[in-house]
Amino acid sequence: MTGSRFRRDERGNMAVLFAFGFAVSAMVSALAVDAASLYHERRVLQAGVDLAAISAATDPARAAEIAQSVLTGAQLLAPASTDGLTVLAGRYDPTEPVIADRFTPGKTPHNAVSVTLNRPGRLYFASSFATVPILRASGIASVTPEVSFSVGSRLASLNEGLANAILSALLGTTVSLSVLDYRALAAARVDALDFLDALATELGVTAGSYDDLLATHAGTRGVAATLAGLAHGRAHSALMLLATAGAGANVDLGKLIDLGRLGRLELGSAGAADLSLSVLELLSAAAALGDGNRQVSLNLGAAVPGLVSLQLDLAVGEPAQGGAWFTLGPMGTIVRTAQTRLRLRAELLGGPTLLGAGVKLPLWLDLAPAEARAEAATCPTTVAPQGSATIAARPGILRLSVGEMSDASLADFGVPPSAAPVRLIDILLLRVTGAAMVELAQTTPVRLNFSSADIAAGTMRTARTETLVASLSAMLLDRLDLTVNVSGLGLSPPHIIAQTVRALLVPFAPLIDNTISGTLSALGLGLGEADVRVYGVRCDRAVLVG
């Protein structure tokens, strides 16, 4: 009897244990299912918050509105709800050594946004015996402004004459444009992507990206024809003359324009960015970069009393590697001009003191590439719709010397020209030699600030070498070291001859300055100066940083 009752109790206990085990197993299974569901929900929440942060960072002024809209679209927030949402605009500094301190909420100018969202998780099986967990996701996204800018843009001040002759020679034409033609070309604007789309059609290119097109060459006549198709009025007529005259030269398009990441866009994407350029700047840059006649020789005549002749020879070198004439890119992006060399050979009438001998004045100028680097920028806002930018510019080092330069030296930019004394007068009884050099260099970059209004107006700013004086040639001639050798009777003493030569040369300093300045202006350059223009600031490329 006792044994029978024991067996019944044992069977009852086993049933209880079995039921308990089943309940525990069911609970564990429910928790496992809910845990997997919560893990998936957390991943979805994080993905939505990351997308909201990236979207909001492109316009920090509207960060809260944008983040809420993105999260609503992802069905992570109810329409018009901000429950559990925290959005903070601030500044992200990647150079801060402590990672946690890199984002500072509220600090201006804003370049980053932090988005945090808290929301209850969903329990499908364990809701009756477990507390509903709160899921949390946060993300920080920062935007790196990209600046479109160029260096060397003095062309709006061009007029006919010397500049006309140089541009015509570089373009391989014989067409003379008037002052009004140049003004029309300087005023005409063209969108960079529109230009490249039209140029692709001109070249018969029907597929590929802008980078693919920029890896090719185009003739300067084709460039002029493409610009003519986009221009109107007097600018159109002037460009058509340039497009139909002369042999032209080939241009490496990659040295003309660098679109940065926009270069990966497919041809035909005009309208994706506003990159408005001056037609004259674009045309002149193409002329200077052409691989045809990169040397120009001009006889400037002798219209000045006392001047027998003035011969100008110009050589344009390859731009330094690492930057096109126009570029779009993040901080640190660089644009450079080409190295330029000038040779001037002037001959002046002598007087009785010099036995009627003519005075020859050979000069050369070596101008290293000017450089401009994007140093800082702020994104467009409702108050400043164009954003702002700071460009660090360094004018090219220049050397002006009294000296001879051979044709080989003029074209060989790898070898510095000679500064050895040269013969100014060389006749039977009289020999005068001279030597002088002026070298100017800007060792530290000059910071040029462009406001939103400056960018909208297309304002050009100039970085000037701080040591530059009003007349470079006057400085050179003032330093002229003359050596006089007299080998006959009846001649004036050497110091009188030296004074006479110096007095003869000094009045021509303004003519030399104007000739050099006009020549460089035709290339968009300046003596000891770098002209910079900012076309826009883009902030549509945000990345997660936290």
Determine whether 361 is exposed, middle or buried from the number of CB atoms within 10 Å of its CB (0-12, 13-18, 19+): buried
Dihedral, 189, 193, 194, 197 alpha carbons, nearest 10: 140
Residue type, 474: A
Residue, of 433 and 441, whose pLDDT is higher: 433
Least confident interval from 2-11, 126-135, 368-377, 490-499: 2-11
Six token digits for residue 84: 């559990």
H or E element: which one contains 39?
helix 2-57
The model's pLDDT over 240-297, given as tens digits with 9 standing for 90+, comes to 888 887 666 788 898 889 998 899 999 998 887 778 888 888 888 888 787 655 677 8
| Mean pLDDT on 13-37 | 58
The pLDDT value given to residue 22:
47
Centre a 10 Å sphere on the Cβ of residue 31 and count the other Cβ atoms it contains.
15
In 3D space, the residue among 172, 210, 205 whose CA is nearest the CA of residue 292 turns out to be 172
Looking at the chain, the whole-number percentage of residues with pLDDT higher than 70 is: 85
Comparing CA positions, the residue from 211, 192, 323 lying closest to residue 263 is 211
> What whole-number distance in Å separates Cα of residue 524 and Cα of residue 392?
18
Query: Position 157: which residue type?
Result: S
**Average pLDDT across the chain, whole number:** 83
Confidence at 322, pLDDT banded by 50, 70, 90: low
Alpha helices in 308-441 (DSSP H): 407-411
**Residue 302 confidence class, pLDDT cut points 50, 70, 90:** low
Give the C-alpha separation, 338 to 17, whole Å: 90
CB 416 within 8 A of CB 444: no
Domain edges within the chain:
13-116, 173-292, 295-530
Whether the full predicted model's pTM is greater than 0.85, yes or no, is: no
Pinpoint the alpha helices (H) of 244-289: 253-256, 279-289
Give φ, ψ of 340 to 5 degrees: -130, 140
Which range among 37-46, 258-267, 468-477, 522-531 shows the weakest confidence by mean pLDDT?
468-477
Residue 27 confidence class, pLDDT cut points 50, 70, 90: low
Which two three-digit tokens encode residue 461?
Answer: 């700013």
Phi, psi angle pair for 359, to nearest 5° = -105, 125
